[in-house]
Structure 1
Amino acid sequence: MSKKFKILCLCLLIAIISSAILNLNTGFLHLDLEDFLSTSSNNQIAEIRINRVLVMCLAGISIPTSGFLMQEYFQNPLAGPDILGITSVASLSVAFYIFLSFNLSLPDFLQNSFLSLSAIGGSLLLMLFLLSLSNRFQDKSYLIIFGFLISAFAGAIVSLLQFYAENQSLKNYILWSFGANNMVTKTQIYVLTILVFIGLLISFKTIKPLIGNSLGTSYAQSLGVNINYLKALIIAASSLLSASITAFLGPILFIGIIIPHFCRLIYNPAKLWQQWILNMLLGAFIMLLFSIAAEKSHIPLNVISSIFGIPVILAMLLKQNKI
């Protein structure tokens, strides 16, 4: 590892720790250190803030990794975690659950659990479907077209469900889609951590083949890279990472596109191992900053990510057009 890369990692780690501490101290109520370490009257609020920091770190690790894998595989800097339609299908699954179960009186923890399970279940079904069809799509562009069609179909069904939905169900779905980072419980964080860990393990197995794939399909095959196996790993890792975050936090937009772009600007884009690490570190830092901004401004997390992401992507398009 180069000296520059070590310095970058150290700076990002310091930034993550600093933003995490600031995040723990952001809210309506001022908390002392003893509130986080003992069973004081404000201990529940402290636990909510700790959960918020943890889930933001997990989201910052998962979404940029998913976007990084998509961009490197498709060789497209504008590819994101939702390019295969995974996020859209997760949103559709949640919409089905919210709109069709509005008359069921369930405890809050069961409501949240079933909501998350519906999103993960729908996404995993699409992932299995994609894996079964992946060998038929020898051209990468066909996967993008298929993902676009799935996203459009899911969006149309969600709109139809919204049109006929009860007022409270519609409100619940909108609140979920905004990204509620304060609603994640400790148990859900345990489940999310396991899902993210599995996704990262699969991602680890893709980096070395991606290095060969970046030199061209023919050259990669001459190096012994199994293109179909790599495609399956990419689909599985990206789907699991993006679906798990969407299930617990709602769809977090644009982060999976812009974080890999920033990482390429600050370090050699050809070194994929280092790029993957930088994506996770920078992603965690950015998500913690977004969480602080959301708490201070009372603006939903998804709105903040969109406000930040849209100008960056527009600048990327203009830059590519000049080139």
Structure 2
Amino acid sequence: MSDKFKILCLFLLIAILAMAVINLNTGFLSLNFHDFWGNASNSQIAEIRVNRVLVMLLAGISIPTSGFLMQEYFQNPLAGPDILGITSVASLSVAFYIFFSHDIFLPEFLQNSFLSLSAIAGSLLLMLVLLSISKRFQDKSYLVIFGFLVSAFAGAIVSLLQFYAENQSLKNYILWSFGANNMVSRNQIYVLSALIAAGLWVCFNMIKPLIGNSLGTSYAQSLGVNLNRLKIGIIAASSLLSASVTAFLGPILFIGIIVPHFCRLIYNPSRLWQQWILNMFLGMLMMLLFSVIAEKTQIPLNVISSVFGIPVILGMLLKQNKA
């Protein structure tokens, strides 16, 4: 690793620690050091803030990694975690659960758990479908087309459900779609961590084949890269990483497009191992920043990430058009 990369990582790590401390001190009440230890009067509020920081760190690791994998595999800087339709199906699963479970009485903590489980179940089901049909699609573009069709179909069904939904069910779905970083419990964080760890493990094994794939299909095959195994690994890793965050936080996936772009601007884009590390560091920093803004302004997390991401994506399109 070069000295420039080490200095860059050190700077990002310091910024992440500083932003995490700011997050812990952001809210309606001012907390002191003792509130985060023992059974202090504000210990429950302190636990909520710690959970908020932890889930933002996990989201900052997983979403940019998913976007990084998609962009490197499809060789398209505008590809994102939702390109395969995973997040759309997760949203559809949540919509089915919210709109059809209002007559079933469940405690509040179970409602949140089943909501997340429904999103994960729907996403993993689509992942299995993608893995089963990926062998028939030799051209990468067919996967993108299939993902677009799935997203369009899921969006149409969600719109239909919203049209006939009761007011409270519709409100609950809209609140979920905004993204809520304060509603994740410690047990849910454990589940989220396990899913993300599985996705990162698959990603770790895909970086080396991705390096060969970036040099061209023929050259990658001459190096012994199993392109079909690479495709399956990319689908599995991206699905696990994006679906898990969508299940617990809602569709906040814009940073999956913009963070890999920023990382390629600040460091050599051909160094994929270093790019992956930078994506995770910069993703954590941006999610913590968005969390502070959301707490200060009471604007939903999904709205903040979209408002920040849309101008960046527009700039990328204009830059590509000039090229």
- The answer to whether TM tops 0.5 is yes
Whichever residue aligns with residue 273 of structure 1, its letter is: W
Return the alpha-carbon distance in structure 2 between the equivalents of residues 253 and 285 of structure 1: 15
- Give the root-mean-square deviation of aligned CA atoms: 0.4
Pair 1:91-2:73 in alignment: no
Report how many residues are paired: 323
Distance in structure 2 (CA, Å) of the matches to 1:134 and 1:4: 39
Residue matched to 1:177: 177
Given that 2:180 and 2:300 are in contact with CA atoms closer than 8 Å, whether structure 1 keeps it comes out as yes
Deviations 1:230-278 (A, max 9, x none): 0000000000000000000000031100000000000000000000000
1:1-323 aligned within 5 A: 1-323=1-323
State the alpha-carbon separation in 1 of the partners of residues 7 and 174 from structure 2: 41
1:264 & 1:253 partners in 2: Cα distance?
18
The Cα offsets for residues 104-162 of structure 1, whole Å up to 9 and x where unpaired, read as 12101110110010000000000000000001000000000000000000000000000
Q: Percent identity?
A: 81
Q: Retained in 1: the 8 A contact 2:77–2:257?
A: yes
Could you report, residue by residue, the CA deviation over 1:212-241 in whole angstroms, capped at 9, with x for unpaired residues? 000001110000000000000000000000
TM-score where L is the length of structure 2: 1.00
C-alpha contact 2:63 2:253 (8 A) present in aligned 1: no
For the residue of structure 2 that corresponds to 1:84, the secondary structure is coil
1:264-319 Cα offsets, whole Å, 9 max, x none, are: 00000000000000000000000000000000000000000000000000000001
| 8 Å Cα contact 2:81-2:253 kept in structure 1 | no
Is the Cα contact below 8 Å between 2:71 and 2:78 reproduced in 1?
yes
Letter in 1 for 2:232: A
Question: Residues of 1 paired with 2:38 and 2:265: CA distance?
Answer: 44
SS of 2:82 mapped into structure 1: helix
Rounded Cα–Cα distance in structure 2 between residues aligned with 1:126 and 1:137: 16
Matched to 2:124, the amino acid is L
TM-score (norm 1): 1.00
Unmatched 5+ stretches in structure 2: none
Query: How far does residue 38 in structure 1 lie from its aligned partner after superposition?
Result: 1.9
